[in-house]
């Protein structure tokens, strides 16, 4: 397989090593508390499931669907953007339904990337933000994830030292994995920066509705003129706990979305029509389920911060997203995030996502997902406390070469 061009461009999947160890431990009878994958455990809203059941099995809905999304679903997404962000979208030309935001990113990369094209992507970041373009033959230049002045200094240097000049930059706020949130002022500066350098902005806003204070995360499309250069990707996965349904959206710049739609027309016929109808009901329906989701994740966050602190591990409280981005405890840092993650499975019965899986600049961190209930989170904290207070010493758990 190493001879295949696109496979050669992909490193070993770091998370698979943790998954194998987790499966082995479970097969041996261990009760592993999985805080690794951001896989929502909450049910999809009842009215959405009811709409799916009502629509499934009707002869017309068993046919091929629409690759860019049925008209009602695109109108519903446009309506959501107008209510939530005050942004008006033409559902016919500025909205494309995707099979989740991940597929949208990957196919956008296929649509706009020529071999050797340079894209600026944050490091650490969700893997598809970089590897979608690498698989398409592009080149990645890393920029910081923090939405501050240093971001623009680093991006300016990356543009100056890139040949050819970058075609696009990727941003993701609230961030996966770091949970950082960008302000509208940052987005204003970002749009100005991108227009100055004649590059596109590709924004991932999948966690826009998972926030824990009174300031909803903004959209870059709220900036006047942003649609000239920007496409934003969102998802039903976290907002409505519909991760396995695979429904997302790309909205914004008409030229980019036309390219995405053309690529998709060769690759898929869109999601199963009853799923699209149910997703329409979700977007057009009451938002009580979204508020309930937020409250549940906030409570879990608070329990995690409190119980892990009692176990001796400080968890920075995230303002948004369903993740905590947590420094590896100092005495275990020489191991690196992957080996520390393996150690937590073996000695604490807890699975986390190693930060190195999101880029080399994430290797001093692990990502914890709020996908277990409060009782299980407290149980995880007890397992970690036993590990920290156990007989293992730093000498025993860190190989000699790491200490050297």
Q: Tens digits of per-residue pLDDT, 73-85?
A: 999 999 999 999 9
402 in any annotated domain: no
* Pair 118, 229 in one domain: yes
What is the extent of the structural domain holding 125?
A: 47-286
d(CA 304, CA 314): 10
Q: Are residues 279 and 330 in the same domain?
A: no
CB 225 within 8 A of CB 194: no
- Asked if residue 249 and residue 294 are part of one domain, the reply reads no
Number of compact structural domains in the chain: 2
Tell me the two tokens of residue 4.
Answer: 């295949």
Query: Do 254 and 383 fall within a single domain?
Result: no
What CATH number does residue 208 fall under? Answer: 3.40.640.10
CATH number where 303 lies: 3.90.1150.10
Q: What's the pTM? A: 0.92
pLDDT of residue 398: 58
For position 392, what pLDDT does the model report? 52
Supply the pLDDT for residue 401: 44
For residue 161, being part of any structural domain is answered with: yes
Residue listed under structure tokens 């149910």: 278
CA–CA dist 176, 190 (Å, integer): 19
**Residue 185 contacts residue 193 (beta carbons within 8 Å):** no
Helices 14-27, 337-348: crossing angle, 10 deg rounding: 10
Determine the Cα–Cα distance for residues 145 and 246; give it in Å rounded to an integer: 26
Residues 196 and 258 in one domain: yes
For the chain, helix (H) and strand (E) counts, in that order, are 15, 12
Last residue of a domain, one of 286, 303, 319: 286
Is 399 a member of any domain? no
Beginning with the edge strand found earlier in the chain, give each strand of the sheet holding 365-369 in spatial order. 323-327, 365-369, 353-354
The whole-angstrom separation of Cα 260 and Cα 232 is 12
One domain for residues 33 and 125: no
Strand partners, 172: 204
Q: Is residue 381 within 8 Å of 328, Cβ to Cβ?
A: no
Residues of the chain with pLDDT under 50: 393-395, 400-401, 403-404
Task: Answer whether residue 401 is part of any domain.
Answer: no
Same domain, 134 and 172: yes
Query: What is the model's pLDDT at position 152?
Result: 96
Let me know whether 304 and 339 are in one domain.
yes
Beta strand 350-351 with 33-34 is: parallel
Q: Which residue has the tokens 């679903």?
A: 73
Do residue 281 and residue 300 come from a single domain? Answer: no
Residue 198 lies in a domain: yes
Q: For residues 308 and 332, state if they share a domain.
A: yes
Q: Tell me if 359 is assigned to some domain.
A: yes
Q: Where are the alpha helices (DSSP H) in 11-146?
A: 14-27, 46-55, 71-85, 100-112, 128-135
In terms of Cβ atoms closer than 10 Å to its own Cβ (0-12, 13-18, 19+), residue 385 is middle
Both 280 and 152 in a single domain? Answer: yes
Same-domain pairing of 82 and 190 = yes
């Amino acid at each position: 397989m190493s001879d295949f061009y696109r496979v050669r461009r992909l490193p070993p999947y770091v998370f698979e090593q943790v998954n194998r160890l987790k499966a082995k431990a479970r097969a041996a009878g261990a009760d592993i508390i999985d805080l690794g994958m951001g896989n929502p455990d909450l049910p999809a809203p009842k009215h959405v499931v009811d709409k799916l059941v009502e629509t499934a099995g009707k002869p017309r809905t068993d046919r091929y669907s629409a690759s860019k999304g049925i008209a009602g679903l695109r109108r519903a997404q446009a309506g959501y953007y107008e209510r939530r962000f005050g942004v008006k979208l033409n559902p016919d030309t500025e909205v494309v339904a995707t099979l989740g935001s991940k597929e949208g990113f990957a196919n956008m990369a296929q649509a706009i990337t020529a071999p050797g094209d340079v894209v600026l992507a944050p490091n650490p970041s969700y893997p598809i933000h970089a590897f979608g373009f690498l698989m398409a033959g592009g080149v990645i230049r890393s920029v910081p994830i923090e939405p501050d002045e240093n971001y623009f200094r680093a991006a300016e240097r990356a543009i100056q030292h890139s040949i050819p000049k970058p075609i696009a930059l990727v941003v993701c706020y609230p961030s996966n994995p770091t949970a950082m949130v960008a302000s509208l002022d940052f987005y204003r500066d970002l749009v100005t920066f991108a227009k100055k350098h004649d590059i596109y902005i590709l924004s991932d806003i999948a966690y826009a509705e998972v926030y824990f204070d009174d300031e909803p995360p903004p959209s870059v499309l709220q900036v006047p003129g942003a649609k000239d250069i920007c496409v934003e990707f969102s998802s039903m996965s976290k907002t409505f706990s519909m991760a396995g349904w695979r429904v997302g959206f790309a909205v914004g710049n008409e030229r980019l979305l036309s390219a995405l739609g053309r690529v998709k027309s060769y690759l898929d016929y869109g999601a199963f029509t009853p799923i699209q109808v149910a997703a329409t009901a979700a977007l057009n329906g009451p938002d009580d389920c979204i508020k309930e989701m937020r409250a549940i994740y906030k409570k879990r966050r608070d329990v995690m911060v409190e119980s892990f602190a009692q176990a001796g591990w400080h968890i920075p409280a995230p303002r948004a997203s369903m993740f905590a981005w947590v420094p590896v405890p100092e005495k275990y840092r020489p191991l690196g995030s992957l080996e520390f993650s393996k150690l937590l499975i073996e000695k604490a019965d807890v699975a986390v996502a190693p930060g190195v899986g999101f880029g080399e600049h994430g290797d001093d961190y692990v990502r914890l997902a709020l996908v277990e209930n409060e009782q299980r989170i407290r149980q995880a904290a007890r397992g970690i406390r036993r590990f920290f207070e156990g007989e293992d010493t730093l000498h025993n758990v860190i190989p000699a070469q790491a200490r050297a």
